[in-house]
Chains A and B, each alone.
Chain A
Amino acid sequence: AAGVIQSPRHLIKEKRETATLKCYPIPRHDTVYWYQQGPGQDPQFLISFYEKMQSDKGSIPDRFSAQQFSDYHSELNMSSLELGDSALYFCASSWRTSGNTDTQYFGPGTRLTVL
């Protein structure tokens, strides 16, 4: 079965640079969630989209923005990167329209390292 695809899997950036992370949800899934997981931490919710509209917002810095496109893929844009942004970034998708709204399937993650 198709899973959530994230790219790139690994990304190394310098401080103050920008980064773009991409997420391709499971086919037919209409909702995308972004999470950040620091070393030894549990995943923290950043932001979510349903049918291309922002659905909910968590602890996402103002330096970060995200959107969901017409094909339901999503991109997380991160600017003015800081050392503390180094983490695993996960995308998860679900099929809200089906009514099974809370079952989220996670992608393999993007490991961002800021030097």
Chain B
Amino acid sequence: TQLLEQSPQFLSIQEGENLTVYCNSSSVFSSLQWYRQEPGEGPVLLVTVVTGGEVKKLKRLTFQFGDARKDSSLHITAAQPGDTGLYLCAGALSGGTSYGKLTFGQGTILTVHP
């Protein structure tokens, strides 16, 4: 059972379209991070959200943390071919003895066609 459910797993769109990727869980996270990963490379941090209801913007990317800190979304406006890649959400569970270790979603492979 996947603790963090990420959807969709594959997304193929045309340049200029908008898209949203979702991460959902029944567990509460102390923080949630979004990464982008190129094949054979390490995940590159895009953003960390820590407060329920928090919204962060990074150019055309908008990240939101759910009020209950159980879910998050990544919205890309006017997607460009350079946005193509694997996007991963990762959460650090709240409480317990697990300190900081990340649980990842399955990832979303985004392809933006020119």
Identify the B interface with A (CB < 8 A). Answer: 30-31, 33, 35, 40-45, 48, 50, 88, 90, 92, 97-107
Q: How far is the CA of A35 from the CA of B104 in the complex (A)?
A: 11
The interface bits of chain A over 86-115 (1 if a CB of B lies within 8 angstroms of the residue's CB, else 0) are: 001010101010001111111111010000
Tell me how many residue pairs across A and B have CB atoms closer than 8 Å.
73
Partner of B99, one of A4, A42, A44, A55: A55
Q: Are A102 and B42 in contact (CB under 8 A)?
A: no
Q: Provide a sorted-by-A list of 6 A–B residue pairs whose CB atoms are within 8 angstroms.
A: A4-B42, A94-B100, A103-B33, A109-B41, A109-B42, A111-B40
Q: Are B50 and A102 in contact (CB under 8 A)?
A: yes
Q: Are A106 and B100 in contact (CB under 8 A)?
A: no
Identify the A interface with B (CB < 8 A). Answer: 4, 6, 31, 33, 35, 42-45, 48, 50, 55-56, 58, 88, 90, 92, 94, 96, 100-109, 111
Q: Are A106 and B99 in contact (CB under 8 A)?
A: no
